[in-house]
């Protein structure tokens, strides 16, 4: 595909005038994207010395700098290395109506890591799959992703490198490696082609920009960007997803399939589980000390632990989390209470606010309510259309798979109580002055929708109990039993992961 | 003061029961602080092996983990080094009603950096002043700061270090340095004392915790913490600031005074400044290229540049910023548009959202609207009481001083137009379909308060034109003139800073 790209120079007559018109149009289109709330990501990859930086500068020259952000993608820094490899891209996601322009991207991040030998072939392939899934997730959420690859020939690259090296002001930009790579052009070309092909999907197809001639490159970039934004705005206005035309055959992409574990419906759970005070004290002590030891090993081995708590109102999540937290070295965990999203969170992919809350490897991140609000409160209360929410089962499995691939142990609890027990606890809260703040009209309203929620929970547990991140339903009528079950589950899962 | 601290053991009889009561009380007090929206910071400093970690664990054991966050303070990481030294503390500020518990703090950060020789005496002293000012700012904003210093004797420290070193599970926690420091105990003691004395202010006095005996330490910490939270809640309920009792004499602290430059009132500005199209083109080219060169030098010398834009509605800020931005390498700047604060921002000190938006050193951060909203829109629209807003002149000068101390060039523009010109531009916006989104009823309402705003601007320019971060009022009736003046001002300021 790169061989096929003719490095033909565009005839300047006419094209210069067109370029001026496209620039003016881009100003209007950027406003239109803002009005239509379309978030736009433009990635610029390509050969060394292909002119990525100067092409970006030309692209944005006529855009409003309040609404774009240009980010160079380099070797991950110290903190980025302690997160999943795609974490840094999630962190940078633009808001609806804003532009993120990447100099380099997950494409070059992956392919360069592989060529430099810092990841092996399996990891390289896994990352290709990650990229396709990531782009599909964003596309499904209305993101417009425009991927540009600046292509220059071996001869042109050599010429440019020599020119850069000969000027004292630009010499620092090239080193020995660049010249070695230029000698190995054909080999790198093959790797680039394979990677481009493998990531040329409907959600985010590639555009190869002939860049031997700078004017031609600039024209082509402007043409593709303006066409894409225009197309996306038109599609959105007519309520359809935007499908970008592809320049070369799309790769066959199927979303990952996961192995599921067998689960039970809530109604089939035996809720008559309890512990005596004596049993509780003994087990609490045992599992809390064990957990503290296990945390220490996780810390030393840099294993991240992600614990997700969901459950009925008044189910006892708070007290349960407290028993887990108080086992741990406080410097090694953080509890993240999840409330209604803020405006800046609503303006991005719904998983963004969970990605941004992940602690470093070796640490525990404990979520008090989670991303699963997407398939419970959001569709039930009408914040998210049911069809959109239904897509989340797959997306959340993918998210948790990414966490697992990062090395995380992902533990998910549904704290279950029955309807009578909830009533008892609501009443108790109402009648206890120090607990009244914990009970609101909303709790009573939610309770009226018990059956609807129960159906949603059954479905969620069934569809998101992957073998790497299964749900544990915790029988919660007896708080003591529930706390011990959660602690024991965490200890068991960690021991399994640590091979103890 | 540390000599004077008797390492007396508390009699356990009675005290154990009291401790249990205080723990229960802490649960209620944490809820009360949440209800009263008081943000709480507890810093735990002290000698190596004084038991900071285990005391923190005991303190939080009975608290709700959703509402506290424990952060260890270590040597700054790669990214923290590229920000002002106190940036990382600002980043971690708790929300109203939440607890931040620091293992180590700005105290040990400063004193250890000095003792290790990574900063000199002048810097150490400057940081003491920074700390006092920082704490005063937080205190003035309703933060409760509880500072604890865990004190042990030389003999006790030696015993503990030896014990840690002799156990294979804890050996990694001590090294040669700790034993050397133990030998130099008296010298370190003196430095600690001087630093404690110098930072013992009304806003945040120190509490020395005798920690040879762990029970005594635990009791004392719990006593001080519960008393302080109770006192702060009571003070808030009665509408007064909380003044914590001090254990030893307070240091004399006066807020920093700054040298101001002479300024003019807006009414005294000659607004008849303009450029021909030809002059504009020539100067634009000249200053844009110059700015690009200067940015390169700033990048290489890691000099941060902070540019703040304020001005009348329809003053031409957007177009002005665009001309500055388009001069720059897009990878080296970011424009931060400032809108109304989000809930998580309103729940913290108002400067927090500006601290968190600072780019790394070597980069430009361009604010489109700024922290000066505090003394303009906020008091005028009644979002902030006038008396509180009046405190901001000093606070903002201090903020900008911190930026300057970090090495930043701070450039502030007020883009000025006269009332007739604004009317013309509003009308033009109304009559131009592509510009209608830029004009709202709010703009017209603000215009009615022109005189009030003008007074506020005059006051702001007068009170915050320090010699290190003066305002530049830009005559903006002619957009071309305004753009060139801003560009030239930036170039001049950078040249001055770079000694060119």
Among the listed residues A54, A20, A22, A41, the one whose alpha carbon sits nearest the alpha carbon of residue A226 = A22
Question: B92 lies in a domain?
Answer: yes
Question: Residue B1 — pLDDT band, cuts 50, 70, 90?
Answer: confident
Judge if B282 and B206 occupy the same domain. no
Which position has the token pair 């736009």? A40
Task: Classify the C-alpha dihedral B75-B77-B78-B81 as positive or negative.
Answer: negative
| CB contacts < 8 A (A, B) | 85
The conformation of residue A330, written as its DSSP 8-state character, comes to G
Contacts of A143 (CB under 8 A, 6+ apart): A38, A39, A40, A41, A93, A349
CB B251 within 8 A of CB B193: no
Strand partners of residue A68: A99
CB A20 within 8 A of CB B296: no
State how far the Cα of A372 lies from the Cα of A364, in Å rounded to an integer.
19
Question: Residue B169 — pLDDT band, cuts 50, 70, 90?
Answer: confident
Q: Which two tokens stand for residue A442?
A: 């909303």
Torsion angle defined by CA atoms of residues A109, A113, A119 and A125, in that order, rounded to the nearest 10 degrees: 50
Judge if B115 and B217 occupy the same domain. yes
Cβ contacts of A417-423, under 8 Å, gap ≥ 24: A417/A271, A417/A311, A417/A312, A417/A314, A417/A315, A417/A316, A417/A476, A417/A477, A418/A271, A418/A477, A419/A447, A419/A450, A421/A476, A421/A477, A422/A312, A422/A313, A422/A314, A422/A315, A422/A447, A423/A447
Q: Which two tokens stand for residue A415?
A: 């704290």
Name the E strands within A167-215.
Answer: 206-210
Name the E strands within A181-295.
Answer: 206-210
Question: B474 lies in a domain?
Answer: yes
Contact B64 A103 (CB under 8 A): no
Judge if B223 and B325 occupy the same domain. no
CB A345 within 8 A of CB A352: yes
Question: What average pLDDT does this structure show over A46-62?
Answer: 93
Q: Which pLDDT belongs to residue B144?
A: 98
State how far the Cα of B206 lies from the Cα of B194, in Å rounded to an integer.
12
Q: Which pLDDT belongs to residue B451?
A: 97
Q: Which residues of A touch B (CB under 8 A)?
A: 28, 31, 35, 53, 56-57, 60-61, 64-67, 69-72, 77-79, 101, 103, 318, 321-322, 325-326, 329-331, 334-335, 337, 342-344, 366, 368, 434, 437
Domain count, chain B: 2
Question: What average pLDDT does this structure show over B475-498?
Answer: 98
Contact A434 B31 (CB under 8 A): yes
Cβ contacts of A431-434, under 8 Å, gap ≥ 24: A434/B28, A434/B31
Judge if B327 and B435 occupy the same domain. yes
Judge if A92 and A167 occupy the same domain. yes
Judge if A366 and A479 occupy the same domain. yes
CB A482 within 8 A of CB A415: yes
Contact B342 A337 (CB under 8 A): no
State how far the Cα of B489 lies from the Cα of B479, in Å rounded to an integer.
15
- Quick: pLDDT tens for B305-326: 999 999 999 999 999 999 999 9
User: 3-class SS at B415?
Assistant: strand
Judge if A186 and A287 occupy the same domain. no
Rg of chain B in Å (alpha carbons) = 26
Question: B252 lies in a domain?
Answer: no
Which position has the token pair 């390169």? B296
Strand partners of residue A365: A306, A334
Q: Which pLDDT belongs to residue A8?
A: 81
Last residue of a domain, one of B219, B237, B255: B237
CA distance B476 to chain A (A): 19
What phi and psi, each to the nearest 5 degrees, are found at residue A472?
Answer: -115, 115
Res. A111: pLDDT tops 70? yes
Judge if B483 and B384 occupy the same domain. yes
- Quick: pLDDT tens for A338-351: 999 999 999 999 99
Question: B413 lies in a domain?
Answer: yes
Question: Residue A3 — pLDDT band, cuts 50, 70, 90?
Answer: low
State how far the Cα of A43 lies from the Cα of A146, in Å rounded to an integer.
6
Q: How many C-alpha atoms does B25 have within 13 Å on its Cβ side?
A: 15
Count Cβ atoms below 10 Å from residue A198 Cβ, excluding itself. Answer: 17
Question: A3 lies in a domain?
Answer: no
CATH of the domain at A407: 3.40.50.300
CB A301 within 8 A of CB A356: no
Res. A437: pLDDT tops 90? no
Judge if A95 and A205 occupy the same domain. yes
Give me the count of residues in chain B.
Answer: 500
Res. B5: pLDDT tops 60? no
Can you spell out the DSSP letters for B329-355?
Answer: -GGGEEEEE--SPPHHHHTS-TTHHHH
Question: Which residues does chain B have within 8 Å of residue A67's beta carbon, measured at their own beta carbons?
Answer: 337
Q: Which two tokens stand for residue A54?
A: 């100067």
Contacts of A122 (CB under 8 A, 6+ apart): none
Count Cβ atoms below 10 Å from residue B2 Cβ, excluding itself. Answer: 16
State how far the Cα of B213 lies from the Cα of B243, in Å rounded to an integer.
29
Contacts of B322 (CB under 8 A, 6+ apart): A64, A65
Opening angle at CA B428, ends B425 and B432, nearest 5? 140
CA distance A260 to chain B (A): 31
Opening angle at CA A388, ends A384 and A390, nearest 5? 110
Question: A401 lies in a domain?
Answer: yes
Judge if A233 and A270 occupy the same domain. no
Q: Which pLDDT belongs to residue B3?
A: 67
The conformation of residue A438, written as its DSSP 8-state character, comes to G
Res. A483: pLDDT tops 90? yes
Q: Which residues of B touch A (CB under 8 A)?
A: 28, 31, 35, 53, 56-57, 60-61, 64-67, 69-72, 77-79, 101, 103, 318, 321-322, 325-326, 329-331, 334-335, 337, 342-344, 366, 368, 434, 437
Question: A255 lies in a domain?
Answer: no
Question: Which residues does chain B have within 8 Å of residue A69's beta carbon, measured at their own beta carbons?
Answer: 334
Question: B194 lies in a domain?
Answer: yes
Burial A291-327 (b: 16+ CB within 10 A, else e): beebbeebbeeebbbbbbbbbbbbbbbbebbbbbbbb
Burial B370-400 (b: 16+ CB within 10 A, else e): bbbbbbbbbbbeeebeeeebeebbbbbbbbb
Q: Which residue among B71, B330, B368 places its CB closest to the CB of A56?
A: B330
Which position has the token pair 């009573």? A444
Q: Which pLDDT belongs to residue A9?
A: 84
Q: Which two tokens stand for residue A417?
A: 């109580």
Element spanning A152, H or E:
none
Quote the domain boundaries for residue B96. 12-237
Q: Which pLDDT belongs to residue A6?
A: 64
Judge if A113 and A158 occupy the same domain. yes
Q: Which two tokens stand for residue A112?
A: 């360069």
- Share above pLDDT 90 across residues of chain A, in percent, rounded to a whole number: 91
Return the residue of B nearest to A31 by Cα. B434
Contacts of B141 (CB under 8 A, 6+ apart): B349, B350
Q: Average model confidence (pLDDT) for chain A?
A: 95
Among the listed residues A149, A99, A128, A132, the one whose alpha carbon sits nearest the alpha carbon of residue A203 = A132
Judge if A233 and A294 occupy the same domain. no
- Quick: pLDDT tens for A143-195: 999 999 999 999 999 999 999 999 987 888 898 999 999 999 999 999 999 99
Last residue of a domain, one of B191, B221, B237: B237
């Amino acid at each position: 595909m790169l061989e096929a790209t003719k490095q033909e120079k565009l005839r300047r007559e006419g094209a210069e005038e067109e370029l001026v018109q496209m620039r003016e149009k881009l100003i209007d289109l950027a406003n239109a994207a803002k009005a239509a709330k379309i978030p736009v990501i433009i990635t610029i990859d390509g050969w060394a010395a292909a002119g990525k930086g100067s092409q970006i500068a030309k692209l944005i020259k006529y855009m409003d700098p309040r609404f774009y952000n240009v980010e160079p993608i380099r070797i991950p820094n110290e903190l980025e290395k302690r997160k999943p490899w795609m974490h840094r891209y999630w962190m940078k996601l633009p808001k609806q109506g804003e532009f993120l322009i990447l100099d380099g991207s997950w494409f070059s991040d992956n392919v360069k890591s592989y060529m430099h030998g810092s990841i092996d072939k399996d990891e390289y392939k896994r990352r290709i799959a990650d990229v396709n899934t990531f782009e599909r997730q964003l596309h499904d959420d209305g993101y417009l992703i425009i991927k540009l690859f600046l292509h220059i020939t071996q001869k042109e690259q050599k010429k440019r490198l020599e020119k850069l090296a000969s000027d004292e002001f630009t010499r620092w930009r090239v080193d020995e490696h660049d010249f070695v790579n230029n000698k190995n052009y054909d080999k790198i070309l093959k790797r680039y082609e394979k990677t481009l092909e493998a990531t040329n999907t409907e959600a985010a197809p590639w555009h190869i920009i002939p860049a031997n001639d700078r004017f031609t490159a600039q024209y082509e970039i402007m043409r593709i960007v303006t066409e894409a934004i225009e197309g996306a705005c038109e599609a959105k206005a007519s309520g359809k997803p935007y499908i970008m035309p592809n320049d070369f055959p799309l790769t066959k992409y199927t979303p990952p399939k996961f192995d599921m574990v067998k689960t039970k419906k809530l109604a089939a759970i035996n809720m008559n589980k309890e512990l005596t005070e004596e049993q509780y004290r003994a087990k609490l002590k045992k599992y809390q000390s064990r957990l503290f030891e296990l945390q220490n090993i996780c810390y030393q081995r840099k294993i991240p632990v992600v614990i997700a708590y969901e459950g009925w109102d008044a189910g006892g999540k708070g007290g349960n989390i407290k028993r887990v937290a108080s086992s741990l070295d406080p410097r090694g965990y953080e509890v993240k209470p999840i409330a209604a999203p803020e405006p800046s969170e609503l303006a991005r992919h719904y998983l963004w606010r969970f990605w941004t809350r992940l602690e470093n490897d070796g640490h525990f991140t404990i979520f008090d309510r989670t991303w699963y609000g997407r398939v419970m409160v959001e569709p039930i209360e009408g914040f998210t259309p049911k069809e959109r929410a239904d897509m989340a089962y797959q997306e959340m499995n993918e998210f948790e798979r990414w966490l697992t691939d990062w090395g995380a142990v992902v533990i998910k609890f549904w704290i279950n109580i029955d309807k009578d027990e909830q009533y008892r606890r609501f009443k108790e809260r109402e009648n206890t002055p120090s607990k009244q703040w914990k009970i609101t009209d909303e709790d009573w309203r939610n309770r009226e929708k018990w059956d609807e929620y129960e159906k949603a929970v059954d479905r969620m547990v069934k569809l998101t109990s992957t073998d790497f991140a299964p749900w544990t339903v915790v029988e919660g009528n007896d708080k003591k039993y529930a706390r011990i079950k959660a602690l024991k589950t965490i200890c068991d899962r960690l021991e399994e992961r640590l091979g103890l």
